[in-house]
Amino acid sequence: MHTRAPPALSTRRISLVQHPQSQSPAGITNVEVHCDWHADGISLHYRISPVAELRIPAPRPAVQVDGLWRHTCMEAFLAARDSEGYHEYNFSPSGEWARYCFSAERVRDLETEHLAQPWRPRIDSHTMGGRLHLSVRVPISDFPISTEGWWLGVNSVLEDRHGNLTYWALTHPCQAPDFHHPGGRIWRLPLE
């Protein structure tokens, strides 16, 4: 059970940086994430621009789908501060999503995934003024179990019209893009 009560609301905004080994001709210059911490979870708001050369998946049924990271999608990693466990979330502009549970770095915990509460995120995505906007809420009931709070990493995989992928994160601690590395999760939750 989560024992630490979060504050009513706090907000952080940050620009993500592109991994230097993932250059593409898409011309993306700004990937920004706003994180709102509420008593019952977090809201993530991704803003990407410009999007003229970005391949944005068409709307599809809002179901869980594996492999979303092979195309344009937004990601979040929530890790317990008192264990090695973490959850990975993928949110596609199509409305599709994925949630994975890990007991340690890249060690998938299928039992935890199976026992987790059913959850279907509501992804709001649209383009306006040359920007892609994607917002989603993750309830605290879906966070990894922790008594000391969490670490949050937010990232984006962006695909250009030619199929090239670029990787954006708070920080890139490895030579190759690796969102699972714990060094990429730098926001403490609750936001202080």
pTM check: above 0.85: yes
Kindly list the domain boundaries of the chain, sorted by start residue: 9-189
**What is the spatial distance between Cα 185 and Cα 105, in angstroms, rounded to a whole number?**
12
- 111/139: higher pLDDT: 139
Q: What is the mean pLDDT of residues 131-154?
A: 92
**What is the spatial distance between Cα 121 and Cα 133, in angstroms, rounded to a whole number?**
16
Q: Which residues pair with 30 in a beta bridge?
A: 49
Domain 9-189 belongs in CATH node 2.60.40.1190? yes
* Residue given tokens 């509420």 in the structure block: 38
CA-closest candidate to residue 147, choices 102, 87, 190:
190
Question: pLDDT-based confidence at 1, cuts 50/70/90?
Answer: very low
**What is the spatial distance between Cα 19 and Cα 10, in angstroms, rounded to a whole number?**
28
**What is the spatial distance between Cα 31 and Cα 131, in angstroms, rounded to a whole number?**
10
**What is the spatial distance between Cα 16 and Cα 14, in angstroms, rounded to a whole number?**
6
